[in-house]
Amino acid sequence: MLKQDLDILIDDMMYSEMDVVIVLDGKEGTGKSRNARLIAKYISHVTGVEFNHNNIHFSTFEYIKYSESKPKYNINVLDESREALNKKRGMSKSNVFFTNWLSENRDKQQVHIIVLPAIHDLDNYISVWRMSLLINCLKKHIISETSKSKYVLDRGYFKVFENGKDLQIVLQNKQRYGYYSYPRNCKYFGRFKDVEPFDENELRNYKDKKAKQRKEKYADENKLSKEKQVLLELTKNLRIKYGLSDRGLANLSGDTASHMFYSRLSKNCVENDDVEQVTQL
């Protein structure tokens, strides 16, 4: 049944000038990322379009850049996307930019697979108006005589929900149904086989790419230090070299009081090369 749904979406994309937006959600450890790769690999098999670790991205900026550089029917996977697309951060630049971009790129006729913990955290525009299919990934414990507890974790189970009235009512009435509730009845359910679609080399490339992205985001001290220096130099140029005033900085940023307050506080720090204090401000 999942194969049939995917085939229908592929036909819509290739012959009716549509695009495909599939969301996979579920708790940590349910195999969302692997399931997304399995779906992408199947679509690649049907369309003849290449799919490998280069198609998978962990930031909206890299995702958009890659998608825009590719022709029709390209397969794009946005993994670990909770922070970027969380509706609680709906006015963040990355969220607004990605949502606006997605609203304008249907004509590219590409496949978009979004992986995140909960559909409920996704911006309403994507979850209500753009999503074609929701795959809720599950896990359970099964009896095993080889483990100490007599149970082992079993991944791959899923439920499929169409983006119809039942799902939209639940997503838009969280106070009534519960914030992380799903419709009582799914379209169908099943289990992905325990198969990795990437070969050993491709899987290693994927894991290396994921680890590198995480390091750049959280733990690269050299990058953080470089960003501090760039911030200092930029602020210096704007204020001193180009004579930009507090109001000019505020107008440039698109903000008013908060940035004017920031720029006044940072003025002395910048002139004294106090990088640390500028960064904190």
pLDDT averaged over 10-residue windows placed end to end, the chain, 281 residues? 96 93 92 95 96 93 92 93 56 72 90 92 83 93 88 91 89 78 93 92 93 74 59 71 70 55 53 53 51
Residues in Cβ contact with 100 at an 8 Å cutoff, skipping those fewer than 6 apart: none
Same structural domain, 166 and 237: no
pLDDT at residue 202, as a whole number? 95
Cα 252 from Cα 256, distance rounded (Å): 10
Angle at 90 between CA 257 and CA 167, to 5 degrees: 155
pLDDT at residue 223, as a whole number? 55
Strand partners, 57: 78
Q: What is the pLDDT of residues 259-272, one digit of tens each?
A: 545 555 555 555 55
- Among the candidates 167, 187, 218, a domain finishes at 218
Residues in Cβ contact with 207 at an 8 Å cutoff, skipping those fewer than 6 apart: none
Q: Classify the phi-psi angles of 29: left when phi > 0, otherwise alpha if psi is within -120 to 50, otherwise beta.
A: left
Same structural domain, 131 and 6: yes
Q: What is the pLDDT of residues 223-233, one digit of tens each?
A: 556 656 666 67
Residue 186: C-alpha distances to residues 21, 96, 168, 201 (Å): 18, 30, 13, 37
What is the per-residue DSSP string for 172-207? H-HHHH-TT---SS-SEEEE--S--SS-HHHHHHHH
pLDDT at residue 21, as a whole number? 95
| Cβ–Cβ < 8 Å for 76, 64 | no
pLDDT at residue 219, as a whole number? 63
Same structural domain, 269 and 235: yes
Q: Which two structure tokens, joined as six digits, stand for 189?
A: 């359910």
Residue 148: C-alpha distances to residues 30, 154, 155, 214 (Å): 22, 16, 19, 34
Domain CATH code at residue 31: 3.40.50
Look at the chain and report how many structural domains it folds into.
2
Same structural domain, 235 and 164: no
pLDDT at residue 32, as a whole number? 93
Residue reference for tokens 């995702």 = 63
Residue reference for tokens 């549509």 = 18
Query: Residue 226 belongs to what domain range?
Result: 221-280
Q: What is the pLDDT of residues 96-153, one digit of tens each?
A: 788 888 888 888 999 999 999 888 878 778 888 889 999 999 988 889 888 889 898 8
Q: What is the DSSP letter of 196?
A: -
Q: Which two structure tokens, joined as six digits, stand for 250?
A: 């505020």
Same structural domain, 17 and 145: yes
* Nearest partner of 128 among 187, 68, 93, 87, judged by Cα: 87
Cα 249 from Cα 150, distance rounded (Å): 64
- Among the candidates 218, 236, 258, a domain finishes at 218
Same structural domain, 79 and 147: yes
Cα 37 from Cα 169, distance rounded (Å): 30
Q: Where are the beta strands (DSSP E) in the chain?
A: 20-25, 56-57, 75-78, 111-115, 133-143, 151-162, 188-191
